[in-house]
Amino acid sequence: MTVQEIQSYAAGQWICVDSNAREIHSAITGELIARAGNDSLDVDSMLDYARTVGGANLRSMTFHQRARMIKALALYLGEHKQALYDISFATGATQKDHLIDIDGGIGTMLVFASKGRREMPDDNIYLDGELEQLSRNGTFAGQHICTSLQGVAVHINAFNFPVWGMLEKLAPTLLAGLPAIVKPATATCYVTEHCVRLLLDSGLLPKGALQLVSGGLGSMLNQLTSQDVVSFTGSADTALKLRATPVILKNSIRFIAEQDSLNASILGPDAAAGTSEFDLFVKEVTREMTAKAGQKCTAIRRIIAPQEQVEAVLDSLESSLSKITIGDPRRESTHMGALVSAGQKRDVLEKAAMIGQEAELVFGDPESFEVQTSETSNGISNGAFVSPMLFHCDSPDTSNNVHEVEAFGPVSTVMPYRDLEHAIQLVNRGQGSLVASVITHDAEVAREVALVAGAFHGRIYFNNRESMKEATGHGSPLPHMVHGGPGRAGGGEEMGGVRGVMHYMQRTAIQGSPNILSAIGRKWVPGSTELSHHDHPFKRTFHELEIGETFNTESREISIEDIEHFAEFTGDTFYAHMDAEAAKRNPFFPDRVAHGYLLLSFAAGLFVQPDEGPVLANTGLDNLRFMKPVTAGQSIKVRLTVKYKTPRNDEYGEVRWHVTVSNQDDEKVAEYELLTMNLYTRN
């Protein structure tokens, strides 16, 4: 078999391996399949290329442009994912495992692309939070903004997800406008290298946006500055060594760690054998023990069940695990493939033996189990296969290894709890995890776990008969939600939608006049200059409208007949609108008052331009507040201001209007934001 040489991509060039390259062996057969590593990489040139070329190119793009690029990259990978499937089998992964890694990574990119378009501006500056009024009259205010760091993100990834592990970091990094240098784990870097080649071959990435180190980083971490970010996934020991790099400490370099942890699953006290929750629990545990051969940072390592249910849990898990077919991952009938390497197999068996010092092995014999083969499975006896191993620890309070030692493979331990308080104590003994799950139909159980265990876990996954058909699973971190955890889990966060993008940006507090803040954020703020135009704003296209453009309406008097007609027409006969004496007993109302929605309806009638024009539709109303009641005989008028504009597709964009409804004394009675979709050009 030809031994593949896995190259690095540095400063715009592919770099061949050298004589010090490390050997990579097939997880299935143990044969040599690749070599990777180059000790002569010019890290200074790589960092300079990323900062000066990649960073400049990305920062010149808006969030929306970056989001469209990420979407296009994801779609391109989707068209070429079969090639990634084909080479990933050598990592020991099955076709179902590929769906987690490869399809999961592509899906993560698509989510970030969507969020970038929907939740971020078509600009280079992201406004974080609302305006803060810092003076009595509003002439001095504050706003938090986020801008791209002017360095590089160094991504150090684990072996278990060579595609998803890269893409789930790369998507928010690129969306933030920061270039990346990706360093995958050597054992599976051949898959990552192929994915990087696809990304580069697409022609969609600007120069300098992505580089690859196949092998060691050399002195790269010693050359980083405060504008750089290190994002790491892997073991706690490796994270500690990296985090302790003197330059990282000296320069206060952001270090994001997502570490392996002793994740746990609790069977709720209500979920007895025979319930749908009990069956769900067994299914979830079995899947999390065997998917990716247990090589998941989110896999269930501790199985916590009511004392009276432990025997049933053990019986059911043994039955379920006995149906798992171990073998060549290329076979369609294989449920569980191999560990990634012989070294990883040795480590798992050593850690399992440590757990066995405190717990009884009730299922799985590491010395005797069947490995399914096929006609193409030559040499499979040398593969890194192990059997699922289920332990039972009857005394979890006095045991330590079951709460401290992680066998990073298909190994898990069942332990009993006396009551819910005891279950929470046990789940927290892991001293910080990426995820804990609770299978229960009792909402109060869920609340108690969330309240007392939340501080120890980055994510708590609840599932039961109501959500089981659509739930994504204990071990599936989603790009919408944060992935990370405290303590042993690393103390960092990844993904989480726009939250994940912020890790690669700098938050800055800016202060100044309303006009200054409007100019910086390209968003009109109260107190800044209002622009006028002779045409009604609803006659002007998306591109013609200017931020701050304002339309002031005529007044309209509210009559008692208006109030009574609105009540009869809508059925809203609340006493404050219909009964003067009752209304006066209410401390908020001086007399019968107009309905709030009557005011909104009349406001629309005052500012709407009825003719066909660029405005396609009113699509929403946000942040509505009623400030002062309006009684019969009083009048209202409206100020309509273009607050913000967001392109949506090739034909139209969203206009956010700031709407103020005032009475005859210029006092605000209502305020809200109106959303309309406006054509870019006239029909």
Three-state SS string across 618-650, please?
EEEEEEEEECCCCECCCEEEEEEEEEEEEECCC
In a domain? residue 400: yes
For residues 633-652, give the mean pLDDT.
92
**Band of the pLDDT at 366, cuts 50, 70, 90?**
confident
Active site residues: 258, 297
Between the alpha carbon of residue 505 and those of residues 61, 492, 610, 649, the distances in Å are 15, 15, 44, 26
Q: How far apart are CA 627 and CA 357, in angstroms?
A: 68
Q: At residue 77, does pLDDT exceed 70?
A: yes
Q: Residue 477 is part of a domain; what is its CATH number?
A: 3.40.309.10
pLDDT of the residue at 47: 96
Contact status, residue 101 vs residue 341, Cβ threshold 8 Å? no
Helix (H) or strand (E) holding 291: none
Q: Phi and psi of 324, rounded to 5°?
A: -80, 125
Beta 652-663 vs 556-557: how paired, if at all? unpaired
Q: How far apart are CA 66 and CA 56, in angstroms?
A: 13
Can you say whether the dihedral through the CA atoms of 190, 196, 201, 202 is positive or negative?
Answer: positive
pLDDT of the residue at 423: 96
Residue 80 and residue 26 in one domain: yes
Residues 6+ apart with CB under 8 A from 511: 134, 140, 141, 142, 143
Contact status, residue 426 vs residue 307, Cβ threshold 8 Å? no
Per residue in 274-292, pLDDT (tens digit) is 999 999 999 999 999 999 9
pLDDT of the residue at 40: 77
First vs last Cα of the chain: how many Å apart?
A: 64
**Band of the pLDDT at 370, cuts 50, 70, 90?**
confident
For residues 637-645, give the mean pLDDT.
95
Residues 6+ apart with CB under 8 A from 428: 452, 453, 456
DSSP collapsed to 3 states, 658-669: EEEEEECCCCEE
Residue 226 and residue 301 in one domain: no
Residue 417 and residue 538 in one domain: no
pLDDT of the residue at 377: 59
The overall average pLDDT reported for the chain is 93
Per residue in 34-44, pLDDT (tens digit) is 988 887 789 99
Per residue in 171-204, pLDDT (tens digit) is 999 999 999 999 999 999 999 999 999 999 999 9
Residue 191 and residue 334 in one domain: no
Q: Phi and psi of 154, rounded to 5°?
A: -100, 115
Nearest CA to 488 among 257, 252, 285, 302?
A: 257
In a domain? residue 518: no
SS3 566: helix
Residue 363 and residue 419 in one domain: yes
Between the alpha carbon of residue 318 and those of residues 65, 414, 597, the distances in Å are 52, 11, 62
For residues 370-382, give the mean pLDDT.
73
Residue 477 and residue 594 in one domain: no
Per-residue tokens: 160:
């278990």
Q: How far apart are CA 379 and CA 444, in angstroms?
A: 54
Q: Which residue has the higher pLDDT, 521 or 1?
A: 521
In a domain? residue 556: yes
pLDDT of the residue at 4: 87
Q: At residue 374, does pLDDT exceed 80?
A: no
pLDDT of the residue at 144: 96
Specify burial of residue 254 (Cβ count, 10 A radius: 0-12, 13-18, 19+). buried
Residue 423 and residue 295 in one domain: yes
Q: Phi and psi of 411, rounded to 5°?
A: -130, 130
Contact status, residue 521 vs residue 145, Cβ threshold 8 Å? yes
Per residue in 222-237, pLDDT (tens digit) is 999 999 999 999 888 8
Instruction: Select from 464, 489, 514 the last residue of a domain.
Output: 489
pLDDT of the residue at 285: 96
pLDDT of the residue at 173: 97
Contact status, residue 496 vs residue 481, Cβ threshold 8 Å? yes
In a domain? residue 258: no
For residues 68-91, give the mean pLDDT.
95
pLDDT of the residue at 216: 87
In a domain? residue 663: yes
Q: Residue 630 is part of a domain; what is its CATH number?
A: 3.10.129.10
Q: How far apart are CA 624 and CA 629, in angstroms?
A: 14
pLDDT of the residue at 85: 94
pLDDT of the residue at 194: 95
Q: Residue 101 is part of a domain; what is its CATH number?
A: 3.40.605.10
Residue 545 and residue 464 in one domain: no
pLDDT of the residue at 307: 95
**Band of the pLDDT at 379, cuts 50, 70, 90?**
low
What percent of the chain stands above pLDDT 90? 82
Provide the residue range defining the domain that includes 653.
Answer: 530-679
Contact status, residue 473 vs residue 292, Cβ threshold 8 Å? no
Nearest CA to 194 among 479, 4, 384, 2?
A: 4
In a domain? residue 609: yes
Q: How far apart are CA 214 and CA 425, in angstroms?
A: 42
Instruction: Select from 198, 224, 240 the last residue of a domain.
Output: 240
pLDDT of the residue at 1: 61
For residues 255-261, give the mean pLDDT.
90
pLDDT of the residue at 282: 96
Between the alpha carbon of residue 617 and those of residues 50, 538, 652, 661, the distances in Å are 44, 11, 11, 21
Q: At residue 163, does pLDDT exceed 70?
A: yes
Q: How far apart are CA 510 and CA 23, in angstroms?
A: 52
Instruction: Select from 426, 458, 489 the last residue of a domain.
Output: 489
Residue 270 and residue 233 in one domain: no
Per residue in 151-162, pLDDT (tens digit) is 999 999 998 999
Residue 565 and residue 665 in one domain: yes
pLDDT of the residue at 250: 94
Per residue in 323-349, pLDDT (tens digit) is 999 988 988 889 999 999 999 999 999
Per residue in 539-593, pLDDT (tens digit) is 999 999 999 999 999 999 999 999 999 999 999 999 999 999 999 999 999 999 9
Per residue in 426-461, pLDDT (tens digit) is 999 999 999 999 999 999 999 999 999 999 999 999
> Which residues in 520-533 are b (16+ Cβ under 10 Å) and which e?
ebebbbbbbeeeee
The amino acid sitting at 277 is E
Residue 235 and residue 268 in one domain: no
Least confident of 14-18, 111-115, 255-259, 392-396: 14-18
Number of structural domains in the chain: 3
In a domain? residue 254: no
In a domain? residue 144: no
Residue 274 and residue 396 in one domain: yes
Per residue in 119-133, pLDDT (tens digit) is 999 999 999 998 999
Can you say whether the dihedral through the CA atoms of 573, 577, 579, 584 is positive or negative?
Answer: positive
